[in-house]
Amino acid sequence: MMKTLLFRSFVGICFGALVMVLTCFGVIAFGGSLDSGIFVKNAIGCILCGWFFSTATLFFENEKWSLLSQTILHFLTVSILYFLLSFFVGWIPFSLKGLAIGIGIFIPFYMIIWTIFYLYFRFQMKILNDGLDKRRN
């Protein structure tokens, strides 16, 4: 479990850093400038966001829990951490309207990404089961 946690931490941190670098390229490409303080704050935010989104997937490793329980725990964990981080970094304005807009964007994206991963792993399971059936026959 610790090896998996460390690997997912590394991947998440790298992905968060990649998102930040690509965002900076986009800002610069469209004529924007980067203040060093804002850059550092956003870089740390992206890295932390990548880290907790990647490590929170460990909930789905616990086979004792139902998929519904795993999804609820994952959703609560990432949404609470994401909104706290977003308010601190300034990605979402700290207001009721900002929170409502943030939730209105976050939930559909979460549902789309969750569905894509669900369908992907379901397809992988079908391939594995078909392979086992062929070996038995």
Q: Write down the pLDDT at residue 23.
A: 86
Please state, as a whole number, how many other Cβ atoms lie within 10 Å of the Cβ of residue 116.
10
Question: pTM for the complete prediction?
Answer: 0.81
CB-CB contact of 33 with 39 (8 Å): no
Written in H, E and C, the secondary structure of 6-49 is: HHHHHHHHHHHHHHHHHHHHHHHHCCCCCCHHHHHHHHHHHHHH
Q: Write down the pLDDT at residue 135.
A: 84
**Which carries the bigger pLDDT value, residue 125 or residue 38?**
125
